[in-house]
Structure 1
Amino acid sequence: MSNIHKSFFIIFCLFVSACSTESQVKSQRLNEWTISTISPKYYTVRGDILLIVGESKQGGWRGMIGKTTMESESPLSWDGGERFHSGYSINSDELPASFYIRWHSLANKKTYNKTIKVSEDIRNKMREYHEMRCGFNNGLYPYKDNILLGLAPDGMISVFLNGTCFDNELQFKVQAVEYKVADDFVYPELSEEAQAYVDEHGVPVGIW
Structure 2
Amino acid sequence: MAVGNSAMSANKEHHGTRRLAHLRLCSRLPFVDRVSQMRHLVFAVGFLISLSACATGGSVPPPVKLPYPAWYIGFAAPRHMEVWVESVDVLDQRGYVFFNVHAGVAGYTRKPEGWHKGTSGGKPINNVDLPDQLLLRWQSLVEPQAYKISIRIPQWVRDEMIKPEKGFCLWAGEWKEDFRDTITLGMAPGGIVKVWLGGSCLGFKEVGRYQAKIEPLGPNQDGKGLFYRAPNPAAQAWIDQHGIPYGSW
TM-score, normalised by the number of residues in structure 1 = 0.78
The percent of aligned pairs where both chains have the same amino acid is 24
Q: Which residue of 2 aligns with 1:68?
A: 105
Q: What whole-Å deviation, never above 9, does each CA across 1:14-61 have from its counterpart, x for those lacking one?
A: xxxxxxxxxxxxx98244211111000000000101101111003435
Matched, 1:197 2:238: yes
Give secondary structure in 2 for the equivalent of 1:200: helix
Instruction: Report what 1:35 is aligned to.
Output: 73
Whole-Å separation in 1 of the counterparts to 2:96 and 2:107: 31
* 1:203 Cα offset (Å): 1.6
Decide which structure has greater helix share. 2
Aligned-pair distance for 1:94?
1.8
Q: Where in structure 2 are there 5+ consecutive unaligned residues? A: 1-64
Shift of the 136–146 alpha-carbon distance from structure 1 to 2, 3 Å rule, reads closer
What residue identity is the alignment partner of 1:71?
Y
Query: Is 2:208 the partner of 1:168?
Result: no
Asked which structure has the greater CA Rg, the reply is 1
1:98 aligned to 2:128? no
Structure 1: 4+ residue segments shifted above 4 A: none
In structure 1, distance between residues paired with 2:76 and 2:123:
12
Higher strand proportion, which one? 1
1:17-36 correspondence runs (5 A): 29-36=67-74
RMSD: 2.2
User: What pairs with 1:107-118 in structure 2 (closer than 5 Å)?
Assistant: 107-118=142-153
Q: Indicate the SS of the match to 1:64.
A: strand
Q: Write the letter of the residue equivalent to 1:204.
A: P
Q: Tell me the equivalent position of 1:78.
A: 115
Q: Report deviation, 1:113.
A: 0.3
* Aligned-partner Cα distance in 2 for 1:166–1:74: 23
Would the alpha carbon gap of residues 184 and 207 (structure 1) be closer, same or farther in structure 2, given more than 3 Å must change? closer
Structure 1 residues 173 and 28 mapped into 2: Cα distance closer, same or farther (>3 Å)?
closer
The C-alpha deviation readout for 1:92-134, integer Å capped at 9, x for no partner, is 4720110100000011000100011111111001111102241
Matched-pair contact (CA < 8 Å) for 2:166–2:175:
no
**Is residue 84–residue 138 contact of structure 2 (8 Å, CA) maintained in 1?**
yes
What's the offset of the Cα at 1:198? 0.8
In 2: Cα distance, 1:168 partner to 1:113 partner: 24
Unaligned runs of 5+ in 1: 1-26
SS of equivalent to 2:246: coil
1:88 aligns with 2:126: no
Q: Post-superposition shift, 1:68?
A: 1.6
Contact 1:30 1:93 in 2 (8 A): no
Give the conservation status (yes or no) of the 8 Å contact 2:164–2:177. no
